[in-house]
Amino acid sequence: MKGSTIATALTLSASSVLAAPNLAARDDVTAITVKGNAFFKGNERFYMRGVDYQPGGSSDLADPIADADSCKRDIEKFTDLGLNTIRVYSVDNSKDHDECMNALADAGIYLVLDVNTPDYSINRENPAPSYNDVYLQYVFATVDKFAKYKNTLAFFSGNEVINDGPSSVTAPYVKAVTRDLRAYMRARDYRQIPVGYSAADVDTNRLEMAEYMNCGTDEERSDFFAFNDYSWCSPSSFETSGWDQKVKNFTGYGLPLFLSEFGCNTNTRDFGEVASLYSTEMTGVYSGGLVYEYSQEPSDYGLVQIKNGQVTDLDDFDALKSAFSKTDDPSGDGGYNKTGGANPCPARNSPNWDVDSNDDLPVMPAPAQEYFDNGAGDGPGFSGPGSQNAGTQSTSNTTSGSGDSGTGTSSSSSASGSSDTTEDSAAGLRIPSLTMAPAFVGLVTIVSSMVGAGVIFI
Ligand SMILES: *[C@@H]1O[C@H](CO)[C@@H](O)[C@H](O)[C@H]1NC(C)=O
Ligand SMILES: *[C@@H]1O[C@H](CO)[C@@H](O)[C@H](O)[C@H]1NC(C)=O
Ligand SMILES: *[C@@H]1O[C@H](CO)[C@@H](O)[C@H](O)[C@H]1NC(C)=O
C-alpha cells in the first residue's frame, strides 16, 4: 500500500531533522480550514466522511486513541470504509497520543475531538458552578496536547448539553466555553483549530441553538455548527426524512454545518442517506457527517464487533462501505456559500428557547487568565478529581464578546472571527511548531511521572 511507503519516508525525514528519534507530529498534513459555510483542504472543498469512534460505548469512559495498537487495528477498518474523519468523545489528557494521531495522519484521517469528559464538563443541572477555572484547565490542557497535530480537524466545546427546551438556559455557558477555547488558541499562538458545538437531535430548538452560536461578536461566534440527526430511517428519501426541510431552514446559515451523529437503526440500515448527504441537494449547506458508531455496543448501532481484541465486520459495515464507495463528492465547490458570517441572536421563545436575545455571556473565571500567559500545564486525565464543584466561578456577565475578566492578561486583540480562522489556519502551515513538540511532550511526560497527574492544579 502506498501509505506505508509514505510513512517510512516521513519517519526518516522527521528523525533526521530533529536529530532525536522522537515521534513528532506529522508536518506534511494539510490542515482543514473554514471558508464561508464550508471546510477546505487547501483549495479543495472538504466533506467529512466519518464515524463516531467510541469503543466501550457512552457509559464506559475510555480513550480509544491513547492505545496505539487498537488504534492501528481500527485504522485498517476506517480505511476499508473510505473514511477521512473520526470523532472521539473524550480523551485522557494525561496520556500521549502521538502514535495513534500520526498513524491516523498517515491514513489521511482527521480527528474531531470533544474536549470534555464526564467529570470535566458543564453541568446542565447547575451550570454556573461548573464553569470554573479547574474545568477550563482541563480543556485547555487538552487543546495543548492536540493543537500540534495538523490532523486535528475540530474541537467540540460541548456535546448535547442542551437536550430540551428548559436546558437551553445552559447555552450561554456553552458559548462562553467556545469563546474561551478560541481565545486560548490565539493567546498561545496555536493554529486556530475550528471550535463548535454538537447539538442533540432536538427539533424544538435546533435552529435557535445554531443561530445563537453564530450571533454576536466574532470573538464569541463558533467556527462551525453540528447536530445529531436520526430522522432518516431506511428505507427513506430526502423528502420523506424531512432533510429537504432542514436544508431549506439552514440555507443562508453562515457557518459550516455537519452531522455529528447519524444513522437511524430502526430498520435494517442501507445508508441511503449517504447518497443525499454528499449530493448537491445538500452540499450547499452541509459538509458531510459522522456515522454513529464504529463499534457494536448495547445501543446496537455498531459497524463492527470487537471481542477479545478481534474485530469482526457486521452487516452495517458492508452497507456503509458500499454506500460510501458508490458516492463521490460533488465536483467543484459543491455550491457552498462563500460569504458566510453572523446572524442576529434568536429571540427568547420559552419554553423551547429560554435565552435572552441580548447575548450576555459569563466572563471567564479570573484564575483561568494565567493559562493564557503560561499554558495550562499538565492535564489531570481521567483519574483527576473532577471540576464540577471546584475552583472559582465567573463573577459577572459581559456582552463585549471577549471573555476578559478584567485582570488585564487576556489577549483578545487579534480576534476577528471566522475569516480570521481561515488566515490563521493557513498561516499555521508555516509555523515551525514541529520542532518544539517533542521537547514539550518529553517535559510533560517527565513532570507527570514525577509529580503524578492532577496534583499541580488542586
Ligand atoms: C423549519 O422551519 C420551520 C419554520 O421555522 C419550522 O416550523 C419547521 O419545524 C422547521 N423544519 C425542520 C425540519 O427543522
Ligand atoms: C450566504 O450567507 C450569508 C451570511 O449568512 C447570507 O446572508 C446569504 O443569504 C447566504 N447566501 C445564500 C445564497 O444562501
Ligand atoms: C449571567 O447570565 C446568566 C445566564 O444568562 C444568568 O443566569 C446569571 O444570573 C447572570 N449573572 C450575573 C452576575 O448577572
Tens digit of each residue's pLDDT (9 = 90 or more) over 191-238: 999 999 999 999 999 999 999 999 999 999 999 999 999 999 999 999
CB atoms inside a 10 Å sphere around CB 48: 27
Q: Is the CB of 340 under 6 A from ligand 2?
A: yes
The C-alpha cell that represents 101 in the structure block? 494521531
Any catalytic annotation for residue 261?
yes
Per residue in 111-146, pLDDT (tens digit) is 999 999 999 999 999 999 999 999 999 999 999 999
User: From the CA of 352, how far away is ligand 1's center (Å)?
Assistant: 13
- Is the pLDDT score of 296 beyond 70? yes
Task: Kindly state the DSSP code that residue 353 receives in the 8-state scheme.
Answer: B
pLDDT value at residue 436 = 31
Are 12 and 114 within one domain?
no
CA dist 75 → 27, 71, 82, 189, 240 (Å):
20, 6, 10, 31, 34
Clarify whether residues 162 and 232 are in a common domain: yes
Grid cell 441537494 — which residue?
281
User: Ligand 1: residues whose CB is within 6 Å?
Assistant: 203, 242, 245-246, 249
Among the three residues 368, 398, 428, which one is the final residue of a domain in this structure?
398
| pLDDT tens for each residue of 339-362 | 999 999 999 999 999 999 988 999
Q: Same structural domain for residues 205 and 288?
A: yes
38 and 140 both lie in a single domain: yes
Take atom 5 of ligand 1 and give the residue whose Cα is closest: 249
- 400 touches ligand 3 (CB under 6 Å): no
- How much is the pLDDT for 26? 82
Specify whether 8 is located in the same domain as 129: no
Query: What does the pLDDT read at residue 12?
Result: 40
CA atoms within 13 A of residue 172's CA, in its CB half-sphere: 23
Domain assignment present for residue 430? The answer is no
Is any atom of ligand 3 closer than 6 Å to the C-beta of 76?
no
| Segment among 105-109, 362-366, 401-405 with least mean pLDDT | 401-405
| Range(s) of the domain holding residue 309 | 32-398
8 A C-beta contact, residue 210 and residue 250: yes
Whole-number pLDDT of residue 22: 55
Q: Is the CB of 127 under 6 A from ligand 3?
A: no
Mean pLDDT of 283-292: 98
Check which CATH number belongs to the domain holding 388 and give it.
Answer: 3.20.20.80
Nearest protein CA to atom 6 of ligand 2, as residue: 252
Q: Decide if 444 contacts 378 (C-beta within 8 A).
A: yes
Residue 418 lies inside a defined structural domain of this protein: no
Protein residue closest via CA to atom 4 of ligand 3: 172
Atom of ligand 3 nearest to the CA of 362: 1
Q: How far is the CA of 398 from the centre of ligand 2 (A)?
A: 28
Residue 157 lies in a domain: yes
Does residue 134 sit within a domain? yes
Q: What is the pLDDT of residue 408?
A: 35
Predicted model pTM: 0.85
Cβ atoms within 10 A of the Cβ of 327, count?
A: 17
CA of 245 from ligand 1 middle (Å) equals 7
What DSSP letter does each residue of 38-81 carry, written as one string? EEEETTEEE-EEEEE--TTTTTS---TTS-HHHHHHHHHHHHHH
- pLDDT surpasses 70 at 27: yes
Distance 40 CA to ligand 2 centre (A): 18
- Percentage of the chain beyond pLDDT 90 is 79
**441 and 388, same domain (yes or no):** no
Ligand 3, from 353, 397, 400: best to mutate by most atoms within 8 Å of Cβ? 397
Instruction: Extract the C-alpha cell encoding 15.
Output: 528523525
Q: Is beta strand 32-35 parallel, antiparallel or unpaired with respect to 38-41? A: antiparallel
252: pLDDT strictly greater than 90:
yes
Among 208, 220, 261, 273, the active-site one is 261
Question: 244 alpha carbon to ligand 1 midpoint, in Å?
Answer: 11
Region 51-77: mean pLDDT is: 94
Measured at the alpha carbon of residue 74, what is the angle toward residues 156 and 191, in degrees to the nearest 5? 35
pLDDT band at 88 (very low <50, low <70, confident <90, very high): very high
Ligand 1 atom at shortest distance from the alpha carbon of 242: 13
24 has pLDDT over 90: no
Q: Roughly how many angstroms between the first and final C-alpha of the chain, as a whole number?
A: 48
Q: Do residue 92 and residue 177 come from a single domain?
A: yes
CA of 363 to the centre of ligand 3 (A): 10
- Each residue's pLDDT tens digit, 179-190: 999 999 999 999
For residue 362, the CA-to-ligand 3 centroid distance in Å is 7
Largest CA distance in the chain: 61
Q: Calculate what percentage of the chain has a pLDDT beyond 70.
A: 83
Say yes or no: 8 and 74 in one domain: no
Q: Whose CA is nearest to atom 1 of ligand 3?
A: 397
Q: How far apart are CA 248 and CA 231, in angstroms?
A: 16
Ligand 3 pocket member 172 (CB < 6 A): yes
Look at residues 348, 368, 398 and tell me which one is the last residue of a structural domain: 398
- Let me know if residue 163 belongs to a domain: yes
Q: Is 337 near ligand 2, meaning CB less than 6 Å away? A: yes
Over the stretch 151-189, which tens digit does the pLDDT of each residue have? Answer: 999 999 999 999 999 999 999 999 999 999 999 999 999
Q: How many domains does the chain have?
A: 2
Q: What are 257's strand-pairing partners? A: 225
- Tell me: do 446 and 305 sit in the same domain: no
The pLDDT tens digits for 378-406 are 999 999 999 999 999 999 998 776 677 54
Cα(11)–Cα(18) distance, rounded to whole angstroms? 11
In a domain, 422, yes or no: no
307 contact partners, CB below 8 Å, separation of at least 6: none
Is residue 304 located within the same domain as residue 450? Answer: no
Q: Does 53 share its domain with 137?
A: yes
Residue 251: CB within 6 Å of ligand 2?
yes
Q: Whose CA is nearest to atom 13 of ligand 3?
A: 396
pLDDT, averaged across the chain: 86
Distance, CA of 91 to CA of 96 (rounded, Å):
10
Among the options 160, 208, 211, 293, which is catalytic?
160
Q: Which residue has the cell 476499508?
A: 80
Q: What's the 253 CA to ligand 2 centre distance in angstroms?
A: 6
Residue 403 lies in a domain: no
- State yes or no: pLDDT of 419 exceeds 70: no
Nearest ligand 3 atom to the CA of 397 is 1
For ligand 2, whether the C-beta of 398 sits within 6 Å is: no
Same domain, 39 and 16: no
| Domain endpoint, select from 379, 398, 417 | 398
Instruction: Quote the pLDDT of residue 36.
Output: 98
Q: What is the pLDDT of residue 38?
A: 98
pLDDT at position 51 over 60:
yes
Cβ-contact 426, 33 below 8 angstroms? yes
92: in domain = yes
pLDDT at 17 over 70: no
